[in-house]
């Protein structure tokens, strides 16, 4: 079993819909959680960074962390074709020196 | 926000030659940088952790003599793929952490290496 599980997709939604992404993890010691967006042939771009259970909102993006269930989510409201990309969740321990453990990534396609 | 610049963005080289990839933190000092490798449709695989002024720490299965890492300053780390072979063809991505201990990682735009 992988430490971080993420559905590879592809996830196809119509423009304007809400995109719902999630990751589950097995190690309760993970403390910091990130979501990255990666376009084809580009490096990952940080979208959200959280370290506590609950919700965090930034523009059209909302990140949720449920440490008791070992489950994190990312929601994208009013999705646009430019949101079409691969979304990677990542997490790390408190004292890991920033060594990240990544999910496998979910490919998202927003159709106009 | 923190900006990480990686160069070149793509390179084609002949088998047996060496290729150097640079990773720079443009607006912050990075004591630690990380080098990743990514195969098509797969997630990032950590290769090594690069610490300024000291030897890099390599992940299990990564040949340190094959992938030479030099982190000579707080804003520059280099990865040299020595005696490249076609199986080294991949997407290499560096990342760096900002100044604070709990700040997140920011990534460069990657280097696509093709060995012919």
> Radius of gyration over alpha carbons of chain B, in Å?
13
User: What is the secondary structure of A80-100 as a DSSP string?
Assistant: -GGG-EEEEEEEEETTSTT--
CA distance A32 to A56: 13
Distance of residue A6 Cα from the nearest chain B Cα, in angstroms = 10
Nearest to B112 among A41, A100, A103 (CB): A41
At A17, give phi and psi (nearest 5°). Answer: -75, 165
Task: Please name the residue of chain B whose CA is at the shortest distance from the CA of residue A35.
Answer: B104
Check the CA dihedral B96-A40-B42-A112 and report its sign: positive
Which residues in B lie closer than 8 A to residue A52 (C-beta atoms)?
Answer: none
Provide the residue-wise pLDDT of chain A in tens; the chain has 112 residues: 778 999 999 999 999 999 999 999 999 999 999 999 999 989 999 999 998 889 999 999 999 999 999 999 999 999 999 999 999 999 988 775 668 899 999 999 999 9
For B16-33, the pLDDT digits (tens) are 999 999 999 998 888 889
Confidence of residue B104 (pLDDT cuts 50, 70, 90): confident
Contact A44 B44 (CB under 8 A): yes
């Amino acid at each position: 079993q992988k430490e971080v599980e993420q559905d590879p997709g592809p996830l196809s939604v119509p423009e304007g819909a809400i995109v719902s992404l999630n990751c589950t993890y097995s190690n309760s010691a993970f403390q910091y959680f990130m979501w990255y967006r990666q376009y084809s042939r580009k490096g990952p771009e940080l979208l959200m960074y959280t370290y506590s259970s609950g919700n965090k909102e930034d523009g059209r993006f909302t990140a949720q962390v449920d440490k008791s269930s070992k489950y994190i989510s990312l929601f994208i409201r009013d999705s646009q074709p430019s949101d079409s990309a691969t979304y990677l969740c990542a997490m790390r321990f408190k004292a890991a020196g920033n060594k990240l453990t990544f999910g496998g990534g979910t490919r998202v396609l927003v159709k106009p | 926000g923190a900006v990480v610049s990686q160069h070149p963005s793509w390179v084609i080289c002949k088998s047996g030659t060496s290729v150097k990839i640079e990773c720079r933190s443009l607006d912050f000092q990075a004591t630690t940088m990380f080098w990743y490798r990514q195969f098509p449709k797969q997630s990032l695989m950590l290769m090594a952790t690069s610490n300024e002024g000291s030897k890099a720490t390599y992940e299990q299965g990564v040949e340190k003599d094959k992938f030479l890492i030099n982190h000579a300053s707080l804003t520059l780390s280099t990865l040299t793929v020595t005696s490249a072979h076609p199986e080294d063809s991949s997407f290499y991505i560096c990342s760096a952490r900002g100044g604070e201990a709990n700040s997140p990682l920011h990534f460069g735009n990657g280097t696509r290496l093709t060995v012919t």
